[in-house]
C-alpha cells in the first residue's frame, strides 16, 4: 500500500516536472486593447505586440499576430489576392470584450486575456481559442491552441500519410526528401498548412500562412485542444467559414490562387523510369507502346540524360541528336518530359555555373561565401529562387531544351534535398534575398520548391507564350498549384502504398492541389504483376497518371507482366482515354473553382459520417464513384454508396444509396459507379490525345428525373480559351411517363471543334422505344452494325444492354430529342 503511494507520488512529481516547464515556456498573449475599426480591419495592442483582424470576405477573416508592436513587412508566398470587394463590417465592444460582425460571421473578442471565438450569425459556435493558452509565444516561436470538440474531424494538410481524417495525430511541415517513406513518415516533401474541419456536417477551414518549420497537433498533446505553430515568423492565419466544405475550398483557392487549366496531353498516360537511356531504349519503349496499342502521351527522361548530371545539358554519347530523337518521337505522338534539379554542379567550366556566379544568383552562407552542397552531380551551388531576377535567369536556361523539343519539366530534389548531411538539406542560416530582407533558409526552405516550379513555368511561358506548360514538382508550398503538378515522391511497390496513395491524393485535393499523382506501381522495389495491375486500375483515376520506378528495379511498363495482364493494363489505360472529355471537364471545374478532380466523399456528403470516413473510395469529378481494389487476391469488393441513385458502370445495375454492398471485382475490373442523372461525355480510344479529334463525342446518359450537366471544351493546348475560344453547352435529360427527353443547348463560345458526330447513349431503357424524334422530326431506326456506324442520323435499341443509341451530327444549334416509350 505504502509502496504504491510512493510510486504514485513519484509519478505525479515526474509528470509535473515534465509538464510544467514545457507549459511554462509558453507565454500567452495577455490582455489587449482595441483600436478603432478601420474599414474592414481592427487591431488590438499591448506592450508586447499587436493582433489584427482583417475581414476579407463575409466568410474569410485573417488573424495576424506579431510579437512586435510595429510588425515587419507583410508579404506572403502563398496569398495572391489583394483586391477583395469592399465589405460592411461592424465592431461593438466594452472594456472586457467586443464583437466583430461580417454578413456571415461573428468574432467574439475577449480582451483580458485575449481570446477569439468564431460564431455564425445565428450564434452557433464554430471555433474558439483554448481558454488556457490561446495564442502564445516561446521566444520566437508562435503557437495557437484551439478548442477541439470530440466530434470534429480534420482533413487536408497536403501530402500526409495515414487516414484522410487527420484527427488524433500530429504533423510537421518541413519539405523533406523521404525515399521509401511509409504510412507514418512525417514530414514528407510538401508543406500545405491548410485544413478543413468538419463537425455535424458543417465545415470551416484554417490556413496558417507561415513558411518556417511548422507543426499541427490535432489531439496528441490533449484530446480537447488542437494547436498549430512554427519555429519562427508570425502567428498569421486565415479562418474560413463554410458551412459547405466546397465553399471553404473555393474561398481558399481564391485566396492563394488555383490551378491553371492543364493541356490535354498532360492528362494522358505518362511513362517514366529511372532512367530510360540511351536513345535506342527510349525509341524501344515508344515503339512498344505503339505496336502494342497501349495509349501513352509522354515519356520521361530521368537524370541520366544529362552530361554528368549537369542540368540543361545532354549526355551526347547517350543522346547524340536530341532534336532528331524528339521530333521522331513527336511524330509518334510522344511528348518528352525531362528531370531538372535545382543543384548546379560547381564546375568552373560549366556554363550554367558560370552564369550563376556572374549574375550572383546562388545562395550564400552568412560569411558571404557560396553555399555548396552535394547532390547527384557532386558539389553544387543553389539558385536563390526567392529573387525574381534569379527566377527569370533560371527560366531562360530551359530555352535550349525547349528548342530541342522537350515539352515538359520535372523539378525534383527541390526541398531542397542534399546528400551527405544529416539534416538532408541546407544549413538553416544560409541566406536568401527574400524581398530584400536577407532571410535564412529556416524561413525559405518550405517555399524553395514552389519558387523553383514558378521559375520553370515562367521560363516555359516566355519561350512558348501560347502553350500550356507542364511542370511537375516534388516539393511545394500552399498555392503551388498555380505553377505545377505534384507527385508524391519515392513511394514503394507495396499494397500498403497503393492504399496510402488514395487518401494522400484526396488530401492534396482538399488542400488546393488538384493535379496530383503517385508513382503507379511504386518507385522503390518492384511490384508483383497483380499489384501493378490493381495499381494501374486505380491510377488511371489519379488526376495525374504516371508510372515511375527506381534505378535497378524490374521493368515496369504496362506490358512487362505477361500477355494476360498486358491486355488488362491496356484496357485500364484505354478507359482513361475514353473518359478524357469527362476528365477534362472535371479539370475545367477544378481550374474554375478549386474543387478537386479526385474528390473525398466528404465534399459531397459532409453530413454522412460513413462517407466522410472513406479512405479508399472517391468521386472523380461530379458523377463517377471509384472504389479501387487495394488488397491482393480479391475478386469481390465492398463498396459504400452514399445517398442517391447509382449505376454500376460495368453492368448498369441500379442501386439506391446509402448502401453497403459487395460487387464483383475480378482482376480486370475496378468497381466503378455512375450517379443517376449523370451525363458522362466520353470519346473513342486514341493512342495519344492529338492522334485524332474527338469523334464521336459520346454522351453516356443515366436519366433520373430531371437532370442536366454543363459541358466544356477548348483546343486543349493554347491559352485561346482565355480569349473566348471555348465551347460551352448544357446537356439535359428529363424523364416523363411517356417519354425521355434530351436537350442539348446551342453551343456558346467561339471554339468550334472539327466536324463530328454526337452519340447519345441512354442507359437503363427497359423496352424498345416506339419512336425517336429529333427537333420534332422522326428519326430513322437502324438495326445497328455498319449501317448505324455510317449513318449521319439514326437510332437503334440494344436490348441486351438496355441502351438507346441516338446518333446525330454534332452541330452548333440546340437539339431536342424525344424518345417515346
Ligand atoms: C528522386 C526522385 C525520383 C527520381 C530520382 C532520380 O529520388 O524522387 O523520382 O527518379 O530522384 O532522379
Active site residue 427: no
Ligand 1 proximity of 546 Cβ (cutoff 6 Å): no
Task: Using the CB atoms, write b or e for 447-458: b if 16+ within 10 Å.
Answer: bbbbbbbbbbbb
Q: 298 - beta bridge partners?
A: 270, 335
Ligand 1 proximity of 490 Cβ (cutoff 6 Å): yes
Q: Ligand 1 centroid vs 411 CA: distance in angstroms?
A: 10
Ligand 1 proximity of 386 Cβ (cutoff 6 Å): no
Nearest to 234 by CA among 445, 63, 107, 434: 63
Beta strands 190-191 and 141-147: pairing type?
Answer: unpaired
DSSP string covering 129-165: B-SS-SEEEETTEEEEEEE--TT-EEEE-SS--S-S-
What tens digit of pLDDT does each residue of 685-732 get?
Answer: 999 999 999 999 999 999 999 999 999 999 999 999 999 999 999 999
Nearest-angstrom CA–CA distance, 749 and 756: 18
Residue the block writes with cell 532571410: 439
**Is pLDDT above 60 for 4?**
no
Nearest-angstrom CA–CA distance, 486 and 473: 5
Q: Ligand 1 centroid vs 49 CA: distance in angstroms?
A: 45
What tens digit of pLDDT does each residue of 626-680 get?
Answer: 999 999 999 999 999 999 999 999 999 999 999 999 999 999 999 999 999 999 9
- The pick from 306, 490, 522 for probing ligand 1's pocket by mutation, whose C-beta has the most ligand atoms within 8 angstroms, reads 490
What pLDDT is recorded for position 16? 42
Ligand 1 proximity of 509 Cβ (cutoff 6 Å): no
Nearest-angstrom CA–CA distance, 598 and 614: 13
Classify the phi-psi angles of 304: left when phi > 0, otherwise alpha if psi is within -120 to 50, otherwise beta.
alpha
Nearest-angstrom CA–CA distance, 714 and 721: 6
Ligand 1 proximity of 177 Cβ (cutoff 6 Å): no
DSSP string covering 413-441: STTT--BSSTTSS--TT-EE-TTTT-EEH
- The pick from 180, 523, 546 for probing ligand 1's pocket by mutation, whose C-beta has the most ligand atoms within 8 angstroms, reads 523
Q: Ligand 1 centroid vs 419 CA: distance in angstroms?
A: 13
**Overall size of the chain counted in residues:** 821
Q: Ligand 1 centroid vs 789 CA: distance in angstroms?
A: 47
Q: Ligand 1 centroid vs 489 CA: distance in angstroms?
A: 8
**Is pLDDT above 70 for 6?**
no
What pLDDT is recorded for position 277? 98
Confidence category of residue 784, pLDDT binned at 50, 70, 90: confident
**241 CB contacts (<8 Å, ≥6 apart)?**
59, 60, 104, 105, 118, 120, 126, 204, 248
Q: 757 - beta bridge partners?
A: 809
Q: 127 - beta bridge partners?
A: 118
Cell of 152: 470534429
Ligand 1 atom with minimal separation from the 274 CA: 10
**Is pLDDT above 90 for 7?**
no
Which of 152, 415, 700, 714 is catalytic? The answer is 415
Other beta carbons within 10 Å of 459: 24
Q: Mean pLDDT over all residues of the chain? A: 96
User: Has this prediction a pTM greater than 0.85?
Assistant: yes
Other beta carbons within 10 Å of 132: 14
Name the closest-CA residue to atom 10, ligand 1. 274
Nearest-angstrom CA–CA distance, 356 and 371: 13
Q: Ligand 1 centroid vs 274 CA: distance in angstroms?
A: 7
Nearest to 439 by CA among 671, 722, 211, 736: 211
* CA distances in angstroms from 76 to 158, 208, 234, 437, 452, listed in the order given: 18, 11, 11, 13, 16
Mean pLDDT in residue range 573-597: 98
For residue 289, with 0-12 CB atoms within 10 Å meaning exposed, 13-18 middle and 19 or more buried, which class applies? buried
Q: Ligand 1 centroid vs 179 CA: distance in angstroms?
A: 9
Ligand 1 proximity of 339 Cβ (cutoff 6 Å): yes
Beta strands 298-301 and 97-101: pairing type?
Answer: unpaired
Nearest-angstrom CA–CA distance, 787 and 68: 79
Sign of the alpha-carbon dihedral angle for 369, 374, 375, 377: positive
Ligand 1 atom with minimal separation from the 413 CA: 1
Cell of 17: 516536472
Ligand 1 proximity of 129 Cβ (cutoff 6 Å): no
Query: Residue 286's Cα: distance from chain center in Å?
Result: 28
Ligand 1 proximity of 303 Cβ (cutoff 6 Å): yes
What tens digit of pLDDT does each residue of 10-60 get?
Answer: 444 444 443 444 444 899 999 999 999 999 999 999 999 999 999 999 999
Beta strands 697-701 and 757-762: pairing type?
Answer: parallel
Q: Ligand 1 centroid vs 263 CA: distance in angstroms?
A: 24
Mean pLDDT in residue range 275-282: 98
What pLDDT is recorded for position 11? 43
**Is pLDDT above 50 for 444?**
yes
What pLDDT is recorded for position 577? 99
Active site residue 415: yes
Nearest-angstrom CA–CA distance, 173 and 537: 31
Mean pLDDT in residue range 749-757: 98
Q: Ligand 1 centroid vs 490 CA: distance in angstroms?
A: 7
Ligand 1 proximity of 137 Cβ (cutoff 6 Å): no
Which of 231, 412, 566, 713 is catalytic? The answer is 412
Ligand 1 atom with minimal separation from the 523 CA: 9
Active site residue 59: no
Ligand 1 proximity of 474 Cβ (cutoff 6 Å): yes
Mean pLDDT in residue range 750-766: 97
Confidence category of residue 514, pLDDT binned at 50, 70, 90: very high
**Is pLDDT above 70 for 541?**
yes
Ligand 1 proximity of 412 Cβ (cutoff 6 Å): yes
3-state percent breakdown (helix, strand, coil) of the chain, nearest 5: 25, 30, 45
**Is pLDDT above 80 for 8?**
no
What tens digit of pLDDT does each residue of 144-196 get?
Answer: 999 999 999 999 999 999 999 999 999 999 999 999 999 999 999 999 999 99
Name the closest-CA residue to atom 3, ligand 1. 490
Q: Are 511 and 497 in contact (CB under 8 A)?
A: no
Ligand 1 atom with minimal separation from the 410 CA: 9
Nearest-angstrom CA–CA distance, 395 and 477: 20
What pLDDT is recorded for position 366? 98
Ligand 1 atom with minimal separation from the 273 CA: 10
Name the closest-CA residue to atom 5, ligand 1. 274
Q: Ligand 1 centroid vs 282 CA: distance in angstroms?
A: 18
**781 CB contacts (<8 Å, ≥6 apart)?**
772, 794, 795, 796
Taking the CA of residue 256 as centre, how many other CA atoms within 13 Å lie in the half-sphere pointing to its CB? Answer: 31
Ligand 1 proximity of 701 Cβ (cutoff 6 Å): no
Q: Ligand 1 centroid vs 548 CA: distance in angstroms?
A: 9
Ligand 1 proximity of 584 Cβ (cutoff 6 Å): no
- The pick from 412, 518, 524 for probing ligand 1's pocket by mutation, whose C-beta has the most ligand atoms within 8 angstroms, reads 412
Instruction: Provide the 3-class DSSP secondary structure of residue 278.
Output: coil
Nearest to 66 by CA among 56, 58, 54, 74: 74
Nearest-angstrom CA–CA distance, 742 and 745: 10
Cell of 418: 542534399
Other beta carbons within 10 Å of 528: 14
Task: Using the CB atoms, write b or e for 301-334: b if 16+ within 10 Å.
Answer: bbbbbbbebbbbbbbeebbeebeebbebbeeebb
Ligand 1 proximity of 274 Cβ (cutoff 6 Å): yes
* CA distances in angstroms from 630 to 495, 646, 650, listed in the order given: 7, 22, 19
Amino acid at each position: 500500500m505504502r509502496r504504491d503511494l510512493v510510486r504514485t507520488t513519484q509519478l505525479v512529481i515526474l509528470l509535473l516536472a515534465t509538464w510544467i516547464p514545457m507549459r511554462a515556456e509558453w507565454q500567452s498573449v495577455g490582455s489587449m486593447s482595441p483600436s478603432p475599426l478601420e474599414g474592414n480591419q481592427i487591431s488590438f495592442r499591448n506592450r508586447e505586440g499587436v493582433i489584427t483582424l482583417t475581414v476579407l470576405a463575409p466568410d474569410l477573416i485573417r488573424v495576424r499576430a506579431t510579437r512586435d508592436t510595429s510588425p515587419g513587412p507583410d508579404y506572403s508566398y502563398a496569398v495572391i489576392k489583394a483586391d477583395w470587394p469592399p465589405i460592411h463590417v461592424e465592431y461593438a465592444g466594452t472594456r472586457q470584450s467586443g464583437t466583430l460582425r461580417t454578413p456571415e460571421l461573428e468574432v467574439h473578442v475577449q480582451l483580458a486575456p485575449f481570446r477569439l471565438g468564431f460564431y455564425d450569425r445565428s450564434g452557433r459556435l464554430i471555433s474558439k481559442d483554448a481558454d488556457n493558452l490561446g495564442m502564445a509565444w516561446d521566444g520566437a516561436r508562435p503557437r495557437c491552441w484551439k478548442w477541439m470538440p470530440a466530434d470534429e474531424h480534420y482533413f487536408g494538410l497536403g501530402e500526409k500519410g495515414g487516414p484522410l481524417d487527420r484527427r488524433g495525430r500530429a504533423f510537421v511541415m518541413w519539405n523533406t526528401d523521404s525515399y521509401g517513406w511509409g504510412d507514418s513518415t512525417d514530414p514528407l516533401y510538401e508543406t500545405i498548412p491548410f485544413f478543413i474541419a468538419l463537425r455535424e456536417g458543417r465545415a470551416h477551414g484554417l490556413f496558417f500562412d507561415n513558411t518556417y518549420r511548422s507543426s499541427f497537433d490535432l489531439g496528441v498533446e490533449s484530446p480537447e485542444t488542437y494547436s498549430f505553430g512554427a519555429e519562427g515568423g508570425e502567428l498569421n492565419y486565415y479562418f474560413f467559414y463554410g458551412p459547405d466544405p466546397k465553399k471553404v475550398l473555393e474561398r481558399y483557392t481564391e485566396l492563394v490562387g488555383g490551378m491553371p487549366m492543364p493541356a490535354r496531353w498532360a492528362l494522358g498516360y505518362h511513362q517514366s523510369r529511372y532512367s530510360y537511356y540511351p536513345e535506342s531504349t527510349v525509341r524501344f519503349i515508344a515503339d512498344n507502346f505503339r505496336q502494342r496499342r497501349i495509349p501513352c502521351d509522354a515519356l520521361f527522361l530521368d537524370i541520366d540524360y544529362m552530361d554528368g548530371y549537369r542540368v540543361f545539358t545532354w549526355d551526347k554519347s547517350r543522346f547524340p541528336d536530341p532534336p532528331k530523337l524528339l521530333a521522331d518521337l513527336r511524330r509518334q505522338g510522344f511528348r518528352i518530359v525531362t528531370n531538372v534539379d535545382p543543384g548546379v554542379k560547381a564546375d568552373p567550366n560549366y556554363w550554367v555555373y558560370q552564369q550563376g556566379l556572374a549574375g550572383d544568383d546562388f545562395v550564400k552562407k552568412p560569411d558571404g561565401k557560396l553555399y555548396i552542397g552535394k547532390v547527384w552531380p557532386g558539389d553544387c551551388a543553389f539558385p536563390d529562387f526567392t529573387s525574381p531576377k534569379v527566377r527569370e535567369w533560371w527560366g531562360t536556361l530551359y530555352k535550349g531544351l525547349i528548342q530541342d523539343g522537350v515539352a515538359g519539366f520535372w523539378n525534383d530534389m527541390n526541398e531542397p534535398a542534399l546528400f551527405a548531411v544529416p539534416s538532408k538539406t541546407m544549413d538553416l542560416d544560409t541566406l536568401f534575398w527574400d524581398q530584400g530582407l536577407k532571410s535564412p533558409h529556416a524561413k525559405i526552405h518550405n517555399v524553395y520548391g514552389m519558387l523553383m516550379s514558378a521559375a520553370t513555368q515562367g521560363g516555359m511561358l516566355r519561350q512558348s507564350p501560347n502553350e500550356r506548360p507542364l511542370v511537375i514538382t516534388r516539393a511545394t508550398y500552399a498555392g503551388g498549384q498555380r505553377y505545377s503538378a505534384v507527385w508524391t515522391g519515392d513511394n514503394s511497390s507495396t499494397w500498403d502504398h497503393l492504399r496510402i496513395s488514395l487518401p494522400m491524393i484526396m488530401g492534396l485535393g482538399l488542400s488546393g492541389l488538384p493535379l496530383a499523382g503517385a508513382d503507379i506501381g511504386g518507385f522503390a522495389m518492384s511490384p508483383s504483376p497483380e499489384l501493378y495491375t490493381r495499381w494501374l486500375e486505380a491510377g488511371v483515376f489519379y488526376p495525374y497518371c504516371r508510372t515511375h520506378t527506381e534505378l535497378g528495379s524490374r521493368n515496369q511498363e504496362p506490358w512487362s507482366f505477361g500477355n494476360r495482364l498486358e491486355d488488362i493494363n491496356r484496357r485500364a489505360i484505354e478507359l482513361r482515354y475514353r473518359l478524357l472529355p469527362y476528365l477534362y471537364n472535371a479539370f475545367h471545374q477544378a481550374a474554375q473553382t478549386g474543387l478537386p478532380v479526385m474528390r473525398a466523399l466528404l465534399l459531397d456528403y459532409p453530413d454522412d459520417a460513413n462517407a466522410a470516413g472513406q479512405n479508399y473510395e472517391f468521386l472523380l469529378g461530379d458523377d463517377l464513384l471509384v472504389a479501387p481494389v487495394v488488397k491482393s487476391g480479391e475478386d469481390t469488393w465492398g463498396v459504400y454508396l452514399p445517398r442517391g441513385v447509382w449505376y454500376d458502370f460495368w453492368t448498369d445495375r441500379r442501386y439506391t444509396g446509402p448502401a453497403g454492398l459487395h460487387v464483383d471485382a475480378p482482376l480486370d475490373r475496378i468497381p466503378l459507379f455512375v450517379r443517376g442523372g449523370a451525363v458522362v461525355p466520353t470519346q473513342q480510344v486514341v493512342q495519344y490525345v492529338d492522334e485524332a479529334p474527338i469523334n464521336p463525342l459520346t454522351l453516356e446518359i443515366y436519366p433520373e428525373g430531371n437532370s442536366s450537366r454543363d459541358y466544356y471544351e477548348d483546343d486543349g493546348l493554347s491559352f485561346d480559351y482565355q480569349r473566348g475560344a471555348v465551347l460551352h453547352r448544357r446537356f439535359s435529360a428529363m424523364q416523363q411517363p411517356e417519354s425521355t427527353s434530351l436537350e442539348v443547348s446551342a453551343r456558346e463560345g467561339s471554339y468550334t471543334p472539327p466536324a463530328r458526330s454526337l452519340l447519345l447513349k441512354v442507359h437503363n431503357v427497359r423496352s424498345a422505344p416506339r419512336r425517336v424524334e429529333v427537333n420534332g422530326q422522326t428519326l430513322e431506326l437502324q438495326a445497328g452494325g455498319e449501317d448505324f456506324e455510317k449513318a449521319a442520323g439514326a437510332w437503334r435499341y440494344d436490348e441486351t444492354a438496355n441502351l438507346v443509341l441516338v446518333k446525330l451530327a454534332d452541330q452548333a444549334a440546340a437539339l431536342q430529342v424525344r424518345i417515346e416509350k
